[in-house]
Structure 1
Amino acid sequence: MTNATQIVKFLEANYKVMVCDVQPGYSSYIHFNVPALMDFLNESSKVAVFYVGPGFGFGSEQDILYWYYENGLDESTDLTFIEKNYAFFRPWMDQGVV
């Protein structure tokens, strides 16, 4: 699936919360309280989680989900995982959109 197709699917689904690159492979670069984010997600709905997957040397969706559980995510919290490639948002960032 292309970046553009993924973005269109995301927009059409009307997600309320988007999480990007919060995953074990980036944990040394995360400078906020991950359990606090999990508390927020537990109270949220329509959550999309964008992640860099095994094709780029990172963990799978299941690996990330287990890490989220370890950090306080309730198993009943409904998340939609969307695998993205590295620098997925770079074109938008370069254009000042995000």
Structure 2
Amino acid sequence: MPSRPLGLVGLLLLVAALLVACAQGPGRQSEQLLAREYRGQSEAELQSYYRQLSDQLVRETRALRQAGPLARPAAEKRLELLRGRWNEVRAELRRLEAPP
């Protein structure tokens, strides 16, 4: 009998670990995008970077809706940083007179 409750606890821990691992996916991609330096890129590179940021904003917004209460502050911060970078790149494209 004692092995049954331990099996259930083990299963719950496994599910929790999988949920945490899945929740970190969009965050890692966002960090990589935010680490890129966009100043000095060509117009084509900036447009590609802008599209990547736009796509990542969509993914992060979806992840935020599904985030649990513990993950929500980190997801909100990533989303705020992505929006800021997205706006910076959009302003740079406008400065270059290139449509985003």
TM over 0.5: no
TM-score by length of 1: 0.29
TM-score by length of 2: 0.28
Query: Which structure features the higher share of helix residues?
Result: 2
Query: Which structure features the higher share of strand residues?
Result: 1
Which entry has the higher C-alpha Rg, 1 or 2?
A: 2
